[in-house]
Amino acid sequence: MSTIAVVTSSPPFVEGGHLVIARSLVQALQQAGHDADLVLTPANRFTRQGSAYLANWLTDVGRTSDDRPVDQVISLRFPSYAVRHPRHVCWLNHTMREYYDLWDRFSDSIPRRAWLRERVRKRLIHGADHYLLARKVTRLFTISETVRRRLPWPGLHASVLYPPPPPRDYRVDDYEPYLFSVSRFTPLKRLDLVVEALAQPDARGIRAVLAGDGEQRAEIAALVSARGLSDRVTLPGRLNDAELLGHLARCRAVVFAPQDEDYGFVTVEAFAASRPVITCRDSGGPAELVRHEESGLVVDPTPTDLARAFRRLIDDRDLAARLGTAGRLVADGLTWPATVKRLLL
């Protein structure tokens, strides 16, 4: 039995996918007979990133509180990979995207007086990440090809290791004629695109449940009202596990159309419940997992194309069930025991 620390950084009051991965990994390690625990480290954002990297660098992950040695560390998300340990595997969820793939969008919002400072900060973060991931990590994995592609250092070797679905009691009840979406309400999740698609003529009469919460929820609610969709689009807010599993067991299909998503547990959870997934060609991780016409539909990120995909699955229950069954095979091939085996040194 080994003592293993699973380390991830997290800002306060945020329950993101990295925490789902971290908690599922701890559980899987424990079930494999290891003494595993979760260590949360700071993840300060703009103007305070340096202190967050330093805090992670100084975090003691070498021994437990009762002075037993920690045999291995598995880190997940920036800047948790700054922790120091001689046996350190990083399963990279993502770096600080504002200074990588989202730089153009982020820099457009920076006041001119702060642009040079943020440009310098970007170079410092790139330098720190390269040093940490190339020299302070024993082995490097990424949660998707999308995340690996964002790393700007050609000589840095990383293997893709897709996270399995969280351990839940997935089931199949029916394929009722409604669409289901669950995600944070933020711009990159593109709930506005989903709403606009539901407002298209091809989606006339289609019902949808858009679950989740976040900074854009009021904006999305206003858009639903403005498009005259209030009678067939429901916004129930954040769901508990029972409610989530209930919708996954009953809906016709899951809609997940983010922009360049790191991975997206929504996809593999839908597959685990034998649901087909509708996503977009530029959706990143989901588009890696969903095979068009095999386990879901992958379309261009336009309201018209999404609406046509909605209509196909709503009008053809047998097609939805066939695609969902194929997705279940994908989910079955992603297991926590196999994942743990790859992550252990």
pLDDT at 256 over 90: yes
Cis before 301 (ω within 30): no
Provide mean pLDDT across the span 42-53.
80
Radius of gyration for the chain, computed over Cα atoms and rounded to the nearest angstrom:
21
Q: Give 257's pLDDT tier (boundaries 50, 70, 90).
A: very high
- pLDDT score for 106: 81
Give me the pLDDT at residue 105, please.
86
Nearest to 8, CA basis, from 119, 99, 126, 94 = 94
pLDDT at 239: 96
Three-state secondary-structure class, residue 237: strand
Is the pLDDT at 192 greater than 80, yes or no?
yes
pLDDT tens string 202-225 = 999 999 999 999 999 999 999 999
Mean pLDDT of 314-319: 98
Q: pLDDT tens digits for 110-136?
A: 888 888 888 889 999 999 999 999 999
Q: In this predicted structure, which of 4-8, 40-44, 305-309, 333-337 has the lowest mean pLDDT? A: 40-44
- Predicted confidence at residue 48, as pLDDT, reads 80
Q: d(Cα 188, Cα 23) in Å, to the nearest integer?
A: 24
24 sits in which H/E element = helix 17-31
Query: For residue 89, is pLDDT > 90?
Result: yes
* More reliable by pLDDT, 176 or 345: 176
pLDDT at 113: 80
Give mean pLDDT, residues 288-312: 98
* Rounded average pLDDT over 51-58: 92
Q: What is the pLDDT of residue 46?
A: 67
Helix, strand, coil distribution of the chain in percent, nearest 5: 45, 15, 40
Burial of residue 95, with CB atoms counted within 10 A of its CB: 0-12 exposed, 13-18 middle, 19 or more buried: buried
Helix (H) or strand (E) holding 234: strand 233-237
Instruction: Provide mean pLDDT across the span 263-281.
Output: 96
Residue 92 has pLDDT above 90, yes or no: yes
Task: Catalogue all structural domains in the chain, each as residue range(s) with its CATH number.
Answer: 3-161 (3.40.50), 178-332 (3.40.50.2000)
How does DSSP assign 185-230, residue by residue?
Answer: -SGGG-HHHHHHHHTSGGGTT-EEEEE--STTHHHHHHHHHHTT-T
* Residue labelled with tokens 């409604």: 178
For all residues of the chain together, what is the average pLDDT? 94
Average pLDDT over residues 259-286: 96
228: left (phi over 0), alpha (psi -120 to 50) or beta: left
Share of the chain above pLDDT 70, in %: 99
The helix (H) or strand (E) run that includes residue 286 is: helix 285-289
| Cα dihedral sign, 13-102-77-280 | positive
What's the whole-number mean pLDDT along residues 13-30? 88
Residue 50 has pLDDT above 90, yes or no: no
Is pLDDT at 28 greater than 70 in this prediction? yes
